[in-house]
Copies of this chain bind each other. A is one copy, B any other.
Amino acid sequence: MSSSAVLARPEDPDLPEVYTTVESEVRSYCRSWPTTMATAEGSWITDTSGNRYLDFFAGAGALNYGHNNPNLKTALIDYLAGNMIVHSLDMATVAKTAFLQTFEQLILRPRGLDYKVQFPGPTGANAVEAALKLARKVTGRESIINFTNAFHGMTLGALSVTGNSMKRAGAGIPLVHATPMPYDNYFGGITEDFHWFERVLDDLGGGLNHPAAVIVETVQGEGGLNVARIAWLQALAELCRRRDILLIVDDVQMGCGRTGPFFSFEEAGIVPDIVTLSKSISGYGLPMALTLFRHDLDVWSPGEHNGTFRGHNPAFVTATRALETYWQNATFAEETVTKGRHIRERLEKIAAATPGVSARGRGMAQGLKFEETSRAAAICRVAFERGLLMETSGPSDEVVKLLPPLTTSEDDLDAGLGILAESVAAAHI
């Protein structure tokens, strides 16, 4: 959510004083939702006044299995209560062994993915930083291709491949070594998609430094729920293959089942060279991230990339339990697709009934785009007052983004979509 949407809000009238006197001005969500959250279960959050909120935000995609998922909670509390080791950097631990074995058995092997697993630190940005380092080390090249409206994180390496101009400006130094290319449908269908990228790659006089890698999201969540077509992703993978460019799929937000399958790229049948995962990988909102890559790319020296919190065992425990609970078979993925289709139908109806509105998204990452950009934030404010949490996205905050927990019941989905429809109508008046 950008500052512009946020700044229109009154100044934190309902929060304890410490948020204005001690916390930095950089805070944002507590401005949009100025109330103190207390407890949470599944798709619901309750504040200190007892107000309940249906959560269609889900930790920006970090809570695909809902808040305090009971299966995961049991495993987590048992682990902690048993004085099992919590912090271990990259030592071997019981919890880490279990996670690696389960991830290999339930995720990698069934999909035929010959990936090595790196624990790059606990955030998506750590995973992206490690991915970029590795791509540069393997190829000996510096330049990375990113896409318009990409979002990959706030650390300097991750920020350099991020599109948002406000966040880029925060770097305070020129962000270089990355060149943006148009994402799918960037020109609204007027021109072929890879024209510019392919042409400039082939041209010895094009002036593009030869890239080490392309980094791409299959659906740009922060960028405005821009969905890359399957054919575009396939063409991109093929283009990278032909020209010896590594393909990095950043699946931090769209992975872990958000679009249906565990990896968002599965539907396209492509196999990226490097994949980043974070957000919902722990399943419980605990910090954790992975960088995955083909065995032959594993050229790291021991300790060449490290970090104090790359061995967060409580997260390994909940991650393992989440895989066991939801990814033993295809059921969960299928349910997500079905729910996503349902959401989309409801959104299409709203869009059809409202001028200047269109539906967009894939799986359970869906939203509404408003031609009159300021309406998106207005609708989110109205919805909050009616007990529904949603945020905006897109370069001008023109999209209302829905990321409900994948475990949200159909009734709750309908309830939330009902509030959304009312809010659209209310904000329209």
Judge whether B92 and A15 touch: CB under 8 Å.
yes
Judge whether A207 and B146 touch: CB under 8 Å.
yes
A396 adjacent to chain B (CB < 8 Å): yes
Among A135-143, A265-273, A328-336, the stretch in contact with B: A135-143
Copies in the complex: 4
A52 adjacent to chain B (CB < 8 Å): no
Judge whether B60 and A86 touch: CB under 8 Å.
no
Judge whether A80 and B83 touch: CB under 8 Å.
no
Q: Mark A53-91, 1 if CB is under 8 A from B, else 0.
A: 000000111110001100001001100111111111111
For A186, list chain B residues within 8 Å (CB).
199
Among A120-128, A363-371, A415-423, the stretch in contact with B: A120-128
A149 adjacent to chain B (CB < 8 Å): yes
For A200, list chain B residues within 8 Å (CB).
148, 180, 182
Using CB atoms, name the residue of chain B closest to A26: B300
Q: Mark A403-424, 1 if CB is under 8 A from B, else 0.
A: 0000000000000000000000
Which residues of A180-218 have CB atoms within 8 Å of chain B's CB atoms? Answer: 180, 182, 186-187, 190-192, 195-196, 199-200, 203-210, 212
Measured CA separation A190–B193 after assembly (Å): 12
Measured CA separation A108–B161 after assembly (Å): 37
A385 vs chain B, min Cβ distance (A): 16
For A80, list chain B residues within 8 Å (CB).
68, 73, 76-77, 80
For A48, list chain B residues within 8 Å (CB).
94
Measured CA separation A76–B35 after assembly (Å): 23
For A21, list chain B residues within 8 Å (CB).
104
Out of B86, B162, B301, B394, name the residue touching A26 (CB < 8 Å): B301
Given contacts A117-B23, A174-B209, contact A3 B168 (CB under 8 A): no
A411 vs chain B, min Cβ distance (A): 20
Interface centre among A21, A170, A309 (most CB of B within 10 A): A309
For A429, list chain B residues within 8 Å (CB).
none
Which residues of A9-54 have CB atoms within 8 Å of chain B's CB atoms? Answer: 15-16, 18-19, 21-31, 33-41, 45, 48
Which residues of A306-320 have CB atoms within 8 Å of chain B's CB atoms? Answer: 306-309, 312, 314
Judge whether B97 and A36 touch: CB under 8 Å.
yes
Judge whether B308 and A94 touch: CB under 8 Å.
no
Interface centre among A26, A37, A210 (most CB of B within 10 A): A26
A426 adjacent to chain B (CB < 8 Å): no
A133 adjacent to chain B (CB < 8 Å): yes
Among A150-158, A230-238, A341-349, the stretch in contact with B: A150-158
